[in-house]
Amino acid sequence: MRVISHIDELRSQMHGQHRVAFVPTMGNLHEGHLSLMRLAAKHGDPVLASVFVNRLQFGPNEDFEKYPRTFESDCDKLEKENVYVLFAPSETDLYPEPQTYRVQPPTQLGDILEGEFRPGFFQGVCTVVLKLFSCVQPRYAVFGKKDYQQLMIIRSMCRQLALPVEIIGAETVRDADGLALSSRNQYLSADERAEAPRLYQTLQSARAAVLAGEQGLTQIEQNAMNTLSEHGWKPDYIAVRRQSDLLEPSSDEVSNGTPLVILTAARLGATRLIDNLEV
């Protein structure tokens, strides 16, 4: 595996490669990330990964400085997955001047759910992803479904900007107890880690309630919020939305089996976790 930091060197190395499968990450890699590398290898050749902690998507009170950076370990893991190139730019490599040009997602998709609680987050995500796509020029790019709204926004960006990149969504990888793998799980104390699977269990209960059709969606969402609150969580949202655009479904759409997804974000202690479950 070759580790490259500079954009010009990357473009030179990848010249003539027309089936690149790209997996962008912020490092601190775990089994969930590695599953993305394996999925990428099934679609394209070669596989190229990136590690870059993107300051643009962190709010003023978020954890940019303490975000875990485990570069040496990341390299070992990627090499074992036969990744061809790791693009690991510094901030001055990727942003040699202030990044005053930004990609602003539409408000109806970018300012709801995560966008409501993390203002500017998706602008930062879209800007860095577009820039990474410009550097790497992949044919395929793999993103995890755990970040469901992010996946939807990036797909929409590629479609509207006519980017020649096929976006592949990878299923969420979970621990045996159901907790979705995340770099932020390591912030949980032992007691919090024991409690954390309740987030997925709550989604499963909400999904069962939606399929049973015995309650309105507002009541299902409120019941789920109450369940988490009663066990020490501070939920930001639990929302049942259409898979196609993350807007609220009508009662007819629910009755007719329109594909739905239940999304949640909640804080357990100092750690904010997100998850979702398709219906």
- Rounded-to-5 percentages of helix, strand, coil across the chain: 45, 20, 35
Element (H, E) at 152: helix 148-160
DSSP conformation class of 263: E
Helix axes 121-136, 148-160, angle to 10 degrees: 60
Q: Reply yes or no on whether 43 is catalytic.
A: no
Measured over the CA atoms of residue 252, residue 254, residue 257 and residue 260, the dihedral's sign is positive
| Cα(38)–Cα(11) distance, integer angstroms | 23
| Cα(152)–Cα(2) distance, integer angstroms | 31
| Residue 66 and residue 41 in contact, taking contact as beta carbons nearer than 8 Å | no
Q: Point out the catalytic residue in the list 6, 30, 33, 43.
A: 33
Burial annotation 122-149 (CB, 10 A radius, 16+ → b, else e): bbbbbbbbbbbbebbbbbbbbbbbbbbb
| Residue 55 and residue 125 in contact, taking contact as beta carbons nearer than 8 Å | no
| Cα(87)–Cα(9) distance, integer angstroms | 10
| Residue 88 and residue 71 in contact, taking contact as beta carbons nearer than 8 Å | yes
DSSP conformation class of 180: B
Question: Coil, strand or helix: which one is 151?
Answer: helix
Laid out side by side, the sheet with 233-242 consists of: 233-242, 260-268, 271-278
Catalytic residues: 33
